[in-house]
Chains A and B, each alone.
Chain A
Amino acid sequence: DAGITQSPRHKVTETGTPVTLRCHQTENHRYMYWYRQDPGHGLRLIHYSYGVKDTDKGEVSDGYSVSRSKTEDFLLTLESATSSQTSVYFCAISEPTSGSGWDTQYFGPGTRLTVL
C-alpha cells in the first residue's frame, strides 16, 4: 500500500470555525489531490498540486484553500466551516508515468468531517 496518511481521521466542528486537514505521503509522488465524497455524488475534486507550491482549483474549490510547502504534505483549509462542507475528504497521490499526472491514483484512508 502507498504510504499516505490523513489527519485527523474524524473531526466535529462548529460553523464558522477554521479547519485544517493534513495529507502526508512517504512515496515522493509529485501530484497530490483533495477530493470530497458525498451521498448521491461521485468523488469531486477540490484542489490539486503538481509540485511544491504549485496548486490549482478543482470543480468544488469555493470555501477551500490549500498549501504545499514540501513534497510530502498537502494541507486543506476550510477558512470558515459551513454545514455544506460536512463530508468525507480523501487525499490522493500519483506520479506521472504516461506523461500525465492523472494516472493511477493512490488514496488515503479519508477524514470524516462534521460541521454542526
Chain B
Amino acid sequence: KNEVEQSPQNLTAQEGEFITINCSYSVGISALHWLQQHPGGGIVSLFMLSSGKKKHGRLIATINIQEKHSSLHITASHPRDSAVYICAVRGGSEKLVFGKGTKLTVNP
C-alpha cells in the first residue's frame, strides 16, 4: 500500500518567511499533486509534477523521484497563504492517494 507522509503536520510562520513543506511516499509513482485547502474548506489544485520543478508565483514545487520526496516552497509568505497543504500521489493503481495535510498559519 502506498503511504504518503507529510511534514510538518503544523507550521506557524511570520509574514515574509520562506516556507518548506515536505512529502514522502513509499512506492513508485507516475505523478505527484500539491493541493491547497482554504480555511473555508475549498480545495484547489496547485501543481501536478512528475519530475524536476514547477513554479507559479511565489509557490515552487520540486520532486526527487529517486528519493521519493517532494517539497512545496512558499517565498515571502503572507497571511493569505494560511491554509492546509495536501500532497497526493498517483501510483500503480492510477488512483490518487492523499497525505493528511500540513496546516500552515502565517502571522502578520
Contacts and interface: CB of A to CB of B under 8 A. Distances in A.
Interface of A: 40-45, 48, 58-59, 88, 90, 92, 100-107, 109-110
A106 B45 contact: yes
Contacts of B90: 100, 102
B42 A107 contact: yes
Contact of A102 (B4, B96, B98, B100): B96
B97 A42 contact: yes
B99 A104 contact: no
Nearest to B94: A102
Contact of B95 (A40, A102, A107, A109): A102
Given A40-B100, A45-B96, A106-B45, 10 more contacts: A42-B100, A44-B98, A45-B95, A59-B95, A90-B43, A100-B90, A102-B95, A105-B33, A109-B42, A110-B41
28 contacts: A40-B100, A41-B100, A42-B4, A42-B86, A42-B88, A42-B99, A42-B100, A42-B101, A43-B88, A43-B98, A44-B98, A45-B96, A90-B43, A92-B43, A100-B30, A100-B31, A100-B90, A100-B94, A101-B94, A102-B90, A102-B94, A102-B95, A103-B48, A104-B33, A104-B48, A107-B42, A107-B45, A109-B42
Contacts, number: 51
B18 to A, nearest CB: 26
Main SS class of interface, A: loop
Contact of B96 (A40, A105, A109): A105
B44 interface: yes
Interface of B: 4, 30-31, 33, 41-45, 48, 86, 88, 90, 94-101
B44 A107 contact: yes
A85 to B, nearest CB: 18
Contacts of B4: 42
Contacts of B44: 107
A42 B98 contact: yes
Given A42-B86, A102-B96, A109 B101 contact: no
Contacts of A43: 86, 88, 96, 98
